[in-house]
Each structure stands twice: as C-alpha cells, then as structure tokens.
C-alpha cells in the first residue's frame, strides 16, 4: 500500500516536478491548485502527507494548515511540509504555528524533500505504508580484510548504485581518517571541506552538515576524510558517533568506508553499523585476516547477521576457489563481485566511478546486484544467533 501525498501548489511546473519525483519513489500523488481545493481533498480522503505551498489563491497555506489542525481531532495527524520562496524566519514561525510539521524553502533539492517526507512518514504514517521499504538511516560499514582488496571501490560504487539505480538518499563517509582515498578516486581537491570542519565546530547540527557535505555529480553526499594525516587526530570516536547520528536522520543510507585498524573509532563504527561488510579476496593472507576478524567479532558478541563477507574479484584465478575459501572460514561467503580489474582501475585513475559512467558493464551489474541485496535486507532482529564458534580448518 503506497503512501498518498497531497501536493497543494498553484504553479503547474512545480506540480509536474513534484508529481514526477514522488511517483519515482513509489508514492501515490494527488494534486490541488489552490488552498480551497487542497482543503476539500484533505476532507474527502485524508492523505498520508501534505506538501502545502504558502502563497495560494482562495485560501493561503497558513489558513489551510490551521483549518486542518482545528478539524482533524486528537486521533489523527496528517504531516504537513510547507513550501515557500521566503527565507524570512517570521514566515517559518508563522507556518509552524499554523500547524506545519516542517518547512522547505524553494528552490530545494529533491533528495532533501524525500528525506523529510520519509522522516515524517516514519513518525506519523500507519505502519502498513512503510512496509516493503527499508527504514531510514541504515548505517553499513565496509572493512577491508587487507589493503588492496577493493574496499573503497566497492563502497563508492555501492553508494552510487543505491542512489542512482534504487533511488535512495545516500551519504558516503570516508572513515580512513589518515589516508582517505575518496578525494582521489572521485577527483576532488584538497580544498573541499571534511569531517574536521564538523568535529572542530562548537556544535554540530543538520544545517552545518549540509554545508560540509560535498555533493558528487552522481548525487551521493560525501563526508570526506581530513586533508592531511596529522589532522586526523582531531576526530574522536565520540565526535564521529555524533556526526553519524545526525547523518542517520538525513539520509536513507549512511555508508562508511573504514581502514583495517581495530581502534576505538572503528570499533565505535562497528557498534553503530547494522551490517559490517568485510571485503576480501581469495588468497591465504586475506583468509587468515578474515579468520582473525571473525574471532574478534565473536569476542565482541556481535550477532552473526551483522558480519557479511564480500568476495571481490571472485572469478580471478588464485588457486583458491569459493568453496575452498568457505571451507577454510567454516562459513559461507555472502556476496561476490566479479573480477574486472582493468575496468575498475581505469575508473579509479580517471576519477569517474564505473557505476556513474558505465553502470551497464559487467562490473556495474554485479555491484547493482549487491546494492539490491543490501536494500532488501531487513534490520537484524534482536536476539539473533551469535557467530558460530571458531573451528580449525581441515
């Protein structure tokens, strides 16, 4: 059952744009061209949410909101997002006092609008309207079993696939704080803002995060690592945790790409993440590291569903096939990404991720399948089975 959104705006161009954007997300859309008609449509069949322009003929947005709040009673509450071209704080206060739940100033980005809609629906809409869609604010981390296994490549391209192919709002965090590669792999300069601009601020809120987030051409929001290794010391586990908490309220997905250290910061990321994707290749040194990591996860009492293995370059010849690797680890490999090393390294060297420029390639299709698997995965239930005890490989 799709959520029904009532768009009340007298501008036909805005109506068309909002209708297209919302239908792309799977919502049912109803349109009204003036305040009186918007109120009548609400009264006839209350929608799941309203997008209500302020300047409307016949009855302005403030009047519509106030009338709805006066008549809907204590048992019902239709969330209302007011839309206006005015940035004056008095207008915003007036809208909130009239009964609006949120306020957006035109022009706004569709990703921000969708994020606010999903947040309000999560608060007010009946549960059946949200079934079948992942909850907002899912945090997943990418951890490389050793250097050079392609962790950053997979994290970047998965973020792009989730946004461009599956329509999710995505923040990608470069958690390799000393030697982050996202600036290089995405062809960004050292002059871009980074997580340091957040942890050194007196306080962190959504508005500040919007100023620091770098928007990639693919539409993914990027929180970059510090521009130099020495400034990485400014980022604490507590500070990063607070930032991640803010990002969860702003995006469908928060993907964080971390380095191999098992320090306080990375352990904090593991705690926050719904899933930890351990990226590996089929070679002995990597298998050894995966075994050690699984032992560590077991010691930390993480649920088995929290840790998933991603075999990169799965069809590369190493002398160890998937079955051998699973036998050595005594557990299954959850996801496989094909070996297209030349295409991958070419994309990295050009600063143009393959999911952005060649999404229909063999490698692009493999990452899209991986992204779809993430998007279909429900949050791990409480009390799930723990990681199985370690056994020696035969």
82-114 pLDDT per residue, tens? 998 877 777 778 888 888 988 888 888 888 888
Residue 270 has pLDDT above 90, yes or no: yes
Residue 285 has pLDDT above 70, yes or no: yes
Closest CA to 368 of 131, 115, 183, 168: 168
Domains and CATH numbers, the chain: 4-129 (3.40.50.2300), 138-376 (3.40.50.300)
What is the predicted pLDDT for the residue at 2?
66
Q: State the pLDDT confidence band at 347, using cuts at 50, 70 and 90.
A: low
Residue 132 has pLDDT above 60, yes or no: no
CA angle 132, 137, 140 (to 5 degrees): 95
| Average confidence score pLDDT of the chain | 85
Closest CA to 141 of 130, 132, 154, 124: 154
Residue 206 has pLDDT above 90, yes or no: no
CA angle 209, 211, 213 (to 5 degrees): 65
Q: From CA 284, how far away is CA 189, in angstroms rounded? A: 37
Residue 378 has pLDDT above 70, yes or no: no
pTM of the predicted protein model: 0.64
Q: From CA 207, how far away is CA 194, in angstroms rounded? A: 15
Q: From CA 301, how far away is CA 383, in angstroms rounded? A: 11
Q: State the pLDDT confidence band at 76, using cuts at 50, 70 and 90.
A: confident
Closest CA to 175 of 76, 258, 56, 284: 258
* Cβ–Cβ under 8 Å, residues 178 and 172: no
């Amino acid at each position: 059952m799709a959520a029904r959104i009532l768009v009340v705006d007298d501008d036909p161009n805005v109506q068309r744009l909002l209708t297209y954007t919302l239908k792309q997300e799977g919502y049912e859309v109803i349109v009204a061209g003036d305040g009186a008609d918007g109120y009548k449509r609400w009264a006839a069949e209350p929608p799941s949410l309203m997008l209500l322009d302020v300047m409307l003929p016949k009855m302005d947005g403030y009047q519509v909101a106030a009338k709805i709040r006066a008549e809907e009673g204590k048992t019902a509450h239709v969330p209302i997002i007011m839309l206006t071209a005015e940035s004056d704080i008095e207008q915003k206060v007036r809208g909130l006092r009239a009964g609006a739940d949120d306020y957006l100033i035109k022009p706004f980005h569709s990703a921000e609008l969708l994020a606010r809609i999903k947040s309000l629906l999560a608060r007010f809409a009946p549960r059946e309207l949200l079934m079948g869609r992942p909850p907002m604010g899912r945090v997943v981390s990418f951890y490389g079993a050793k250097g050079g296994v392609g962790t950053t490549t997979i994290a970047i391209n998965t973020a792009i696939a989730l946004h461009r192919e599956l329509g999710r709002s995505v923040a990608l965090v470069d958690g390799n704080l000393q030697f982050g590669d996202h600036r290089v792999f995405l062809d960004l300069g050292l002059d871009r803002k980074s997580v340091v601009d957040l942890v050194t601020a007196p306080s962190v809120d959504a508005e500040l995060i919007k100023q620091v987030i770098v928007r990639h051409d693919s539409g993914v929001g990027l929180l970059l690592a510090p521009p130099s290794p020495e400034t990485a010391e400014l980022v604490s586990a507590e500070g990063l945790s607070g930032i991640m908490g803010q990002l969860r309220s702003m995006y469908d997905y928060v993907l964080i790409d971390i380095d191999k250290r098992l320090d306080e910061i990375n352990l904090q990321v593991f705690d926050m993440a719904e899933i930890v994707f351990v990226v590996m290749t089929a070679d002995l040194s990597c298998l050894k590291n995966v075994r050690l990591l699984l032992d560590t996860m077991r010691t930390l009492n993480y649920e088995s569903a929290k840790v998933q293995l991603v075999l990169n370059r799965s069809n590369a010849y190493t002398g160890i096939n998937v079955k051998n690797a699973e036998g050595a680890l005594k557990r299954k490999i959850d996801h496989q990404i094909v070996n297209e090393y030349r295409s991958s390294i070419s994309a990295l060297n050009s600063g143009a991720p393959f999911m952005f420029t060649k999404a229909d390639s063999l490698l692009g299709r493999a990452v899209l399948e991986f992204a779809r698997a993430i998007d279909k995965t429900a949050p791990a239930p409480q009390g799930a089975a723990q990681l199985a005890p370690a056994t020696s490989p035969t």
